Structure 1
């Protein structure tokens, strides 16, 4: 996270090592956050960690909705379909394990690659923040049902274990 371009794309602040550890501890204990580390299967295990995918259940009035975000931080792991695959798997997990029915993504105005990705997944623009320079996208699980069911069928016969 020392790369300023990556920090801007993910709306992240630079953290000291101790702050990073503290953030990780708080995430592990927060029942309203869910995060999975992404691995690039084209790299060996010791070099494969390339990003993360996260869910935030932050609408206390609607526990069936969550904010979702993705980060593929390693440039050599980008543009391989990892982000799309991880988002679909995370949304399937959220739907089946957490009862989620709606996903919201907040994406920086300049992050055109991420905007294209979420649009491919049927997310629609629902708002803009000039203060934070970001666009809010949203999708109902019903709009993704076919893709998620196809993914589930594929996962049953694949190398993933989402249980």
Structure 2
């Protein structure tokens, strides 16, 4: 990614192709990150069939990406709970918040509903799979601890946030349409923080399968 406009809108840095590949590999192995490639929608007749790698997700069909990052919630009052500490008092897991970002690269693919559909589907996926995502995060936190834990810490997702360039009105409108609201003033980097409290409790109707969300098997090309 080396286009100034995209870097400005997504608050990202220019990377070489080798750095992009290294990032993708690192993120795949990380328990605090989740990333998906956004592709053009399939024809209705094939919508419920399993996608085929290198066909449905061929380079020409890729339009962007969408990501979730998990961070310790330093503002959460439950961080000092003894259930989250091992026998030596070391913190193994804590309540976390999630940061979501999405990028649709080409202008020709923007304003067509692709971003909203991708974000709605991604939020539905995260909501449905939240227990396993938090369990993976918890296991990684415990494995990184210097000492074995006497109890498995309980990690709770407190909220979802998105940090968006103040001037990026389309992106702010996109997140607002799915229940995010301004939660903090513009920061030093010119970003507005939007948040969706209550996500883990299923507060948003948009997460329901009634909006067309579904999961299908991903088959590797042969």
Give TM-score scaled by structure 2 length.
0.64
Structure 1's consecutive aligned runs of 4 or more residues displaced over 4 angstroms after TM superposition are: 42-45
Return the match for 1:154 from 198, 208, 212: 212
Q: Which residue of 2 aligns with 1:33?
A: 33
Rate the CA distance shift 1:124–1:83 in 2: closer, same or farther, 3 A: same
Counterpart position of 1:49:
62
- Kindly state the Cα deviation for residue 102 of structure 1 after the two structures are TM-superposed: 2.6
**Do structure 1's residue 62 and structure 2's residue 62 form an aligned pair?**
no
Structure 1: runs of 5+ lacking an equivalent: none
**RMSD value over aligned CA atoms?**
2.3
Matched length: 157
- Where 1:58 maps in the other structure, the secondary structure is strand
Greater strand fraction, Structure 1 or Structure 2? 1
SS of alignment partner, residue 76 of structure 1? helix
Task: Provide structure 2 residue ranges, at least 5 long, that are not aligned to the other structure.
Answer: 44-54, 74-93, 132-156
What is the Cα deviation at residue 96 of structure 1? 1.3
TM-score by length of 1: 0.85
Match of 1:90 among 109, 122, 127: 122
1:131 Cα deviation (Å)?
0.9
Alpha carbons of structure 1 residues 153 and 87: separation in structure 2 relative to 1, 3 Å = closer
Per the TM alignment, residue 69 of structure 1 is displaced from its structure 2 partner at its CA by 0.8
> Rg bigger for which structure?
2
Greater relative contact order: 1 or 2 (C-alpha under 8 angstroms, separation 6 or more)? 2
CA distance in 1: counterparts of 2:159 and 2:210, whole angstroms: 18
